[in-house]
Structure 1
């Protein structure tokens, strides 16, 4: 145990003995633990941070994202150039709608960093 850890534990113990935790919201009530079994373990901290920041995804936005992923898979598997062009146009329309959702939340989507991060998240969740 490091010195920092010992000092921290001692400060917490002193605060508890002095009753400094008695007036906290929810004192004496059971904790409401959220079931995070569907979230991969390495993403749970990020999930909690986003949830605590009231970052939510609407059902419509989630459905749109799923449609985009499906269209991307169809484009990859498509051999017909005409059909591929049609699917690409449809994907572009969906992407524009998705970016509108993000812009409503004031999330900038024109950054390559954002796009790379979004792609990595998609791969992890799929």
Structure 2
């Protein structure tokens, strides 16, 4: 252990003895670790910073909205095969969101980037898991 690590560890131990960590948010609760395995390693830090700041790229929020609308459409589906006015409205809204997403990806040159497309599939799968 380097000298700096040792000094930091000593300071942490002293702070613990003085009770300086008792009133921290989440004290006594388990850590909530995020699964960032679907995020490329070089993007994880920027992703965390943006997420913690409440900033989400528009394509991510559009994908989340599409997943939500898909779920609502599935819930509206009746066994008779007829479409209700609600499901028609949801389908139209979903179509507009998908078009905006395609336009956005094309503008940013991401529609043909294989790395982004692989990453986007993982994001979509994660959103579906969170919706369930």
Q: What TM-score do you get using the length of structure 1 for normalisation?
A: 0.50
User: With CA pairs under 8 Å and 6+ residues apart, which has the higher RCO, 1 or 2?
Assistant: 2
The TM-score, its normalising length taken from structure 2, stands at 0.48
